[in-house]
């Protein structure tokens, strides 16, 4: 099941690829343009919103909807010594640990999370995170695909 979920994710990302990468106008237009000549616009700061007790989420990207659904990317924080309550995931996705460690619970089954680990989430799974034993926050990139419909 996890392999099929990952394949679906990659297929949806490929479908949405034209909206994921935007060309740099100065480089696309012409001769003599160098990266130093481009005035990059700073990214706005991430705005984290508490969607449920223990869950702080900042949306990074949401693709346009296609026949296969959409792709949504969000950064998730679970604070130190905190527990994020179980949430139903309406869409499948990938849970990629960027920093920290914690215990992830999927439908009642617990597993240890460590930095760099990627876990597949199936549509309909209920996930919770227990970070109560850790002095540092857990930082996760959540990539959801299909019928995302907003978090959760």
pLDDT at 13: 52
pLDDT at 46: 77
pLDDT at 1: 52
Fill in the DSSP letter of residue 40. P
Q: Is residue 60 part of a domain?
A: yes
> What CA–CA distance (Å, rounded) separates 98 from 70?
23
Q: Is residue 125 part of a domain?
A: yes
Q: What is the value of pTM for the model shown?
A: 0.69
DSSP for 1-23, please give it: -HHHHHHHHHHHHHHHHHHH---
Judge if the upstream peptide bond of residue 152 is cis by omega within 30 degrees of 0. Answer: yes
pLDDT at 90: 87
CATH number (domain holding residue 114)? 2.60.120.10
- How many folded domains does the chain comprise? 1
Q: Is residue 6 part of a domain?
A: yes
**Under-70 pLDDT residues of the chain:** 1-44, 149-152
Nearest to 93 by CA among 3, 6, 151, 35: 6
Q: Which domain holds residue 53?
A: 2-146
Residue 132: both structure tokens together = 């109560």
């Amino acid at each position: 099941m996890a392999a099929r979920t990952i394949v679906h994710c990659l297929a949806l990302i490929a479908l949405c690829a034209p909206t994921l990468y935007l060309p740099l106008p100065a480089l696309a237009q012409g001769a003599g343009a160098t990266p130093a000549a481009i005035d990059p616009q700073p990214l706005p700061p991430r705005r984290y919103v508490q969607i449920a007790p223990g869950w702080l989420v900042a949306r990074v990207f949401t693709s346009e909807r296609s026949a296969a659904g959409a792709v949504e990317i969000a950064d998730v924080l679970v604070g130190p010594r905190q527990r994020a309550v179980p949430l139903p995931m309406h869409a499948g996705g990938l849970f990629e640990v960027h920093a920290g460690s914690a215990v992830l619970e999927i439908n009642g089954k617990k597993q240890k999370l460590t930095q760099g680990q990627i876990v597949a989430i199936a549509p309909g799974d209920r996930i919770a995170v227990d970070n109560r034993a850790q002095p540092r926050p857990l930082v996760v990139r959540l990539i959801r695909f299909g019928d995302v419909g907003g978090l959760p």
